[in-house]
Amino acid sequence: MNPASSATDPRLLLLNPADNCLVACRALPAGEAVLIDGRSVTLPRPVGMAHKLARHALAVGDKVLRYGAVIGSVQRPIAIGEQIHTDNLASDYLPTYTLQDDARYAR
Amino acid sequence: MPVEPPTAEPQHPAPLTGFLRPDGRKGIRNVVAVAYLVECAHFVAQEVVQSFRGEPVHLVGFPGCFPNAYADKVMRRLLTHPNVGAVLLVSLGCESFDKRGLEAEVAASGRPVHTLTIQERGGTRKTLAEGIEWVRWALAGLEDQPRVPMRWDELVVATVCGGSDGTSGITANPAVGRAFDTLIGQGAACIFEETGELVGCEFHMQRRAATPELGEAIVQAVAKAARYYETLGHGSFAPGNADGGLTTQEEKSLGAYAKSGDSPIAGLIKPGDIPPAGGLYLLDVVPDGEVRFGFPNISDNAEIVELIACGAHLTLFTTGRGSVVGSALAPVIKVCANPDTYARLAEDMDVDAGRILHGAAGLDEVGAEIVALVQSVAQGRETASESLGHREFILGYKAFEPIGPSCLPIRRGV
Q: What is the pLDDT of residues B14-34, one digit of tens each?
A: 899 999 999 999 999 999 999
Q: Rounded to an integer, what distance in angstroms lies between the CA atom of residue B304 and that of residue B411?
A: 26
Strands A89-90 and B16-20 come out as unpaired
CB–CB contact B170 A90 (8 Å): no
User: Which residue among B244, B250, B255 sits closest to A72, beta carbon to beta carbon?
Assistant: B250
Q: Rounded to an integer, what distance in angstroms lies between the CA atom of residue B355 and that of residue B340?
A: 10
The reported pLDDT for the residue numbered B7 is: 53
ipTM higher than 0.85?
Answer: no
Find residues 38-97 of chain A whose CB sits inside 8 Å of chain B: 48-52, 66-67, 69-72, 84-86, 89-97
Phi, psi of A90 (to 5 degrees): -130, 150
The reported pLDDT for the residue numbered A2 is: 44
Q: How many Cβ atoms are within 10 Å of B289's Cβ, its own excluded?
A: 10
CB B393 within 8 A of CB B59: yes
Strand locations in B198-331, DSSP E?
Answer: 265-269, 279-283, 314-319
Residues B155, B371, B184, B166, CA torsion sign: positive
CB–CB contact B358 A92 (8 Å): no
pLDDT by residue (tens digit) across A44-70?
Answer: 999 999 999 999 999 999 999 998 889
CB–CB contact B358 A25 (8 Å): yes
Whether chain A has a CB inside 8 Å of the CB on B275: the answer is no
Strands A52-54 and A83-84 come out as antiparallel
Mutate to test the interface with B, among A94, A98, A99, A100 (most CBs of B within 10 A): A94
- Listed in sequence order, the residues at least 6 apart from A99 whose beta carbon sits closer than 8 Å to its beta carbon are A105, A106, B239
The reported pLDDT for the residue numbered B197 is: 84
Average pLDDT value over all residues in chain B: 93
Burial class (CB in 10 A: 0-12, 13-18, 19+), B64: middle
The reported pLDDT for the residue numbered A107 is: 37
The reported pLDDT for the residue numbered A38 is: 94
Q: What one-character-per-residue DSSP string does B86-144 give?
A: EEEEEE-SSS-S-HHHHHHHHHHTT--EEEEEHHHHTSHHHHHHHHHHHHHHHHHHHHT
The reported pLDDT for the residue numbered B410 is: 73
Burial class (CB in 10 A: 0-12, 13-18, 19+), B14: middle
Average pLDDT value over all residues in chain A: 86
CB–CB contact A50 B362 (8 Å): no
Q: Rounded to an integer, what distance in angstroms lies between the CA atom of residue B214 and that of residue B409?
A: 7
Question: Residue B308: which H helix or E strand, with range?
Answer: helix B300-309
The reported pLDDT for the residue numbered B414 is: 37
The reported pLDDT for the residue numbered B97 is: 97
CB–CB contact B248 A89 (8 Å): yes
Q: Rounded to an integer, what distance in angstroms lies between the CA atom of residue B225 and that of residue B236?
A: 10
Residues B226, B228, B231, B234, CA torsion sign: negative
pLDDT tens, N- to C-terminus, chain B (414 residues): 455 555 544 556 889 999 999 999 999 999 999 999 999 999 999 999 999 999 999 999 999 999 999 999 999 999 999 999 999 999 999 999 999 999 999 999 999 999 999 999 999 999 999 999 999 999 999 999 999 999 999 999 999 999 899 999 999 999 999 999 999 999 999 999 988 888 888 988 999 999 999 999 999 999 999 888 888 877 778 788 888 899 998 899 999 999 999 999 999 999 999 999 999 999 999 999 999 998 888 899 999 999 999 999 999 999 999 999 999 999 999 999 999 999 999 999 999 999 999 888 999 999 999 999 999 999 999 999 999 999 999 999 999 999 999 999 875 443
The reported pLDDT for the residue numbered B294 is: 86
Could you say which residues of chain A have pLDDT below 70? 1-6, 95-107
Q: List B172's β-bridge partners, or say none.
A: none
Whether chain B has a CB inside 8 Å of the CB on A33: the answer is no
Of B285, B304, B309, give the one whose Cα is nearest residue B295.
B285
Residue count of chain B = 414
The reported pLDDT for the residue numbered A100 is: 52
CB B25 within 8 A of CB B19: no
